[in-house]
Amino acid sequence: MRIDVVSIFPEYLAALDLSLIGKARRDGLLDLRVQDLRERTTDRHHTVDDTPYGGGAGMVMKPEPWAAALSEIAEASPVPAGRKPLLIVPSPAGAVFTQRMAHELAEEPHLAFACGRYEGIDERVLEWAAERFEVRPVSLGDYVLNGGEVAVLAMVEAIGRLVPGVVGNPESLVEESHSDGLLEYPVYTKPAVWEGRAVPEVLLGGNHGKIARHRRNEQLRRTAARRPDLILALDPATLNAKDRDT
Ligand code: SAM
């Protein structure tokens, strides 16, 4: 998968050199390129922002450097002719990023990310970009960050780990929070008793059927306690009779 990120703080994205995503880059599974938007400016001060039309607080990102950066990315896109690469625009005014979205995006051959700063990017950039990309404003959640970089770190990590080969044991992606609409069950390791607290007996017994039932019950209890909205959104067809007793 090819990933392009445009930012005025490319150093922010240095964390994508670490851990599994860094290894995936070195192994050639993720071709991740970070571009400095200021290198696309033409004035002596490398200006990327200006005052907003209509007045108001803050500055707005100018369209010209974005057009220069994004047109080059679109031209170099590996997506087959007739298809457009995806441009994700992090924004608190976007659709909320979810595990389901991460799965969809992990299927894409090419993702570009445009990191806004200040009050955001001149809206015309998104209209202009729609001729070259499928443009999607995406939010990390209902709160406001200073810039898109932190959102991109989170999204690239969530998407990248779903690309085949990035996580060594694909089984570990199956029983995770949000993979089946529920939160993950609690997990434990050695010692069996720590600070007077014992691991649930059933996990020590080796009965796989009982362990699976115990974990499923814990998933349901934890989700009901912490995220009742997820329980309400569950498709009843995914529940079995024993789930209903929990
Ligand atoms: N004035 C904008 C608004 O109210 O919608 C917020 C601008 S914010 C200070 C600057 C940049 O941070 C945004 O352009 C976006 O790239 C990023 N950002 C802020 N909150 C975000 C969130 N919840 N999800 C994704 N990106 C976010």
ipTM, 2 dp: 0.99
Which numbered atom of ligand 1 lies nearest the CA of 147? 12
Q: Which tokens hold the place of 92? A: 């608190």
Mutate to test the pocket of ligand 1, among 91, 140, 149 (most ligand atoms within 8 A of CB): 91
- What is the pLDDT, as a whole number, of residue 107? 97
pLDDT value at residue 171: 84
Place of tokens 């990102």: 61
pLDDT of residue 238: 85
Helix (H) or strand (E) holding 223: helix 208-226
For residue 74, the model assigns a pLDDT of 97
Residues flagged as binding site for S-adenosyl-L-methionine:
116, 140-145
pLDDT reported for residue 242: 77
Q: How far apart are CA 221 and CA 234, in angstroms?
A: 14
Binding pocket residue ranges, ligand 1, CB within 6 Å = 90-93, 115-117, 119-120, 139-141, 143-148, 151
Cβ–Cβ < 8 Å for 219, 185: yes
At residue 155's C-alpha, the angle toward residues 85 and 146, to 5°, is 105
Q: At what angle do helices 19-26 and 149-160 cross, to 10 degrees?
A: 70
Amino acid 239: pLDDT: 83
Q: Are 155 and 112 in contact (CB under 8 A)?
A: no
Q: How many CB atoms lie within 10 A of CB 73?
A: 23
4 burial level (CB within 10 Å; 0-12, 13-18, 19+): buried
Give the position, in ligand 1's atom list, of the atom nearest the Cα of 97.
24
The Cα 3–Cα 158 span in angstroms is 13
How far away, in angstroms, is 198 Cα from ligand 1 center? 44
Q: What is the pLDDT of residue 191?
A: 98
Architecture of domain 2-170: 3-Layer(aba) Sandwich (3.40)
Structure confidence at residue 98 (pLDDT): 96
Strand bridging mode 110-114 / 2-7: parallel
Amino acid at 225: A
The DSSP 8-state label assigned to residue 179 in this structure reads T
Q: Which stretches in the chain have pLDDT values below 50?
A: none
Q: Both ends of the chain: CA-CA distance in Å? A: 42
Assigned token pair, 246? 């929990």
Q: What pLDDT score was predicted for residue 176?
A: 83
Distance 196 CA to ligand 1 centre (A): 46
pLDDT of residue 169: 87
Neighbours of 56 (CB within 10 A): 9
Across the chain, which distance is largest between two alpha carbons, in Å? 70
Q: Which CATH class is domain 180-245?
A: mainly alpha
The string of DSSP letters for 91-124 reads: EEEEEEP-HHHHHHHTT-SEEEEE---TT-B-HH
CB 153 within 8 A of CB 160: no
Q: State residue 179's pLDDT score.
A: 84
Bridge partners (DSSP) of residue 143 are none
Domain residue spans of the chain: 2-170, 180-245
